């Protein structure tokens, strides 16, 4: 019997409306010794991502560890592909120590890039931007691409990929600091503060030739502002609807028939995607985006918070847009 124990954050209750700190619980639990073919992992960095809010609805059982990807050190390996000391991406969930059977691990080469990038610009958030743009958005020179949460890990890459394709990038972000970052550091053509009361009008002014790609990662008011501006044959990759979580079905009017009519009349493409369906494109993504990061053409920002115990608060803050860049919990250095 191992003397080791893990600190972990479990789902204490299903959120009603907005997620709150009481929906999580920090607890201590014993960790068994790694068996044949298994590894003992120590979490260094934990990724917090909006999709986790969806997992709280059903996928994670009450009392189970919250799911999540992390950068870990291999402490003990009984697995032929890994050795103690390797730095690996893993699906450990929100905890300090864990046992793995070696599935869904990927070695990181710490020499090339800061290891935290494997959770952000060179990881799943970056891949989400890449796949959505390559598969669905397909921006062409001179077109206009709009994305919200533009200082976040997905939105920031969406806009930069748009610029690389020769398109105009319009980003929506919360507050003057993020807007300045989006425009001045990331190089978007325009940044709009979504807290502005006249968002729809500001967006219309920022898109004098309409919108060709609206990368949907928030829903709600941004969708309502972008929708009327969509051009004929516009594309709408749908990767997230974070504003909708915990929302009741709105009373009406029913916007669906008018939406379908616009899809028909304008020949729009509205397509959801889950990046794990397109892992065959992951190596292309890594090659292209890591080259851009290396050259300095692609920029990114991380928002690192210390301590696993602060994950629930940081997660809730992220859903409310209080983060500034990719949210990462430093669990152990």
Binding site for a copy of itself (CB under 8 A): 54, 216, 219, 223, 233, 238-241, 244, 247, 249-274, 277
Number of H helices, E strands in the chain: 9, 15
Other C-beta atoms within 10 Å of 60: how many?
18
Q: How far is the CB of 231 from a copy of itself (least distance, A)?
A: 13
Q: How far is the CB of 244 from a copy of itself (least distance, A)?
A: 5
Q: How far is the CB of 291 from a copy of itself (least distance, A)?
A: 28
- With 0-12 / 13-18 / 19 or more C-beta atoms within 10 angstroms meaning exposed / middle / buried, residue 16 is exposed
Cβ nearer to a copy of itself, comparing 152 with 312: 152
Q: How far is the CB of 94 from a copy of itself (least distance, A)?
A: 23
Cβ nearer to a copy of itself, comparing 260 with 279: 260
DSSP state of 166: T
Cβ nearer to a copy of itself, comparing 75 with 270: 270
Cβ nearer to a copy of itself, comparing 90 with 213: 213
Cβ nearer to a copy of itself, comparing 113 with 278: 278
Q: How far is the CB of 213 from a copy of itself (least distance, A)?
A: 14
Q: How far is the CB of 186 from a copy of itself (least distance, A)?
A: 25
Q: How far is the CB of 133 from a copy of itself (least distance, A)?
A: 16
- CA separation for the pair 244, 230 (Å, rounded): 21
Token pair for 322 = 């209080």
Asked whether the beta carbons of 110 and 87 are under 8 A apart, the reply is yes
Extract the runs of DSSP E, i.e. beta strands, from the chain. Answer: 5-11, 24-30, 39-47, 70-77, 87-90, 97-100, 106-107, 144-147, 168-173, 190-193, 211-215, 230-238, 269-272, 302-306, 326-330
Cβ nearer to a copy of itself, comparing 2 with 247: 247
**DSSP element (H, E) containing 311:** helix 311-319
Cβ nearer to a copy of itself, comparing 23 with 216: 216
Unique residue bearing structure tokens 């807290």? 195
């Amino acid at each position: 019997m191992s003397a080791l124990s893990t600190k972990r954050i479990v789902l204490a209750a299903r959120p009603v409306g907005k997620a709150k700190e009481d929906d999580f619980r920090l607890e201590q639990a014993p960790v068994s010794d790694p068996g044949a073919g298994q590894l003992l992992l120590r979490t260094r960095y934990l990724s917090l991502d909006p999709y986790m809010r969806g997992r709280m609805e059903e996928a994670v059982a009450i009392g189970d560890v919250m799911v999540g990807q992390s950068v870990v050190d291999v402490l003990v390996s009984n697995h032929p592909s890994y050795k103690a000391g390797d730095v690996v991406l893993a699906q450990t969930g929100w905890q300090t120590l864990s046992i793995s059977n070696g599935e869904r691990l990927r070695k990181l080469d710490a020499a090339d890039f800061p290891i935290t990038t494997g959770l952000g610009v060179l990881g799943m958030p970056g891949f989400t931007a890449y796949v959505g743009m390559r598969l669905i958005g397909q921006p062409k020179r001179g077109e206009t691409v709009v994305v919200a949460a533009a200082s976040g890990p997905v939105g920031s890459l969406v806009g930069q990929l748009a610029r690389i394709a020769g398109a105009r990038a319009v980003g929506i972000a919360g507050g003057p600091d993020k807007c300045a970052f989006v425009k001045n550091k990331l190089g978007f053509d325009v940044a709009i503060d979504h807290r502005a009361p006249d968002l729809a009008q500001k967006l219309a002014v920022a898109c004098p030739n309409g919108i060709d790609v609206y990368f949907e990662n928030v829903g709600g008011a941004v969708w309502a502002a972008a929708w009327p501006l969509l051009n004929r044959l516009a594309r709408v990759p749908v990767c997230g609807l974070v504003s909708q979580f915990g929302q009741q079905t709105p009373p009406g009017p029913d916007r669906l028939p008018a939406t379908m009519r616009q899809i028909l009349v304008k020949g729009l493409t509205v397509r959801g995607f889950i990046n794990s369906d397109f892992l065959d494109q992951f190596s292309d993504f890594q090659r292209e985006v890591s080259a851009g990061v290396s050259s300095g053409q692609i920029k990114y920002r991380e928002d690192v918070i210390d301590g696993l115990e602060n994950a629930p608060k940081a997660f809730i803050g992220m859903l409310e847009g209080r983060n500034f860049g990719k949210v990462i919990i430093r669990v152990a250095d």
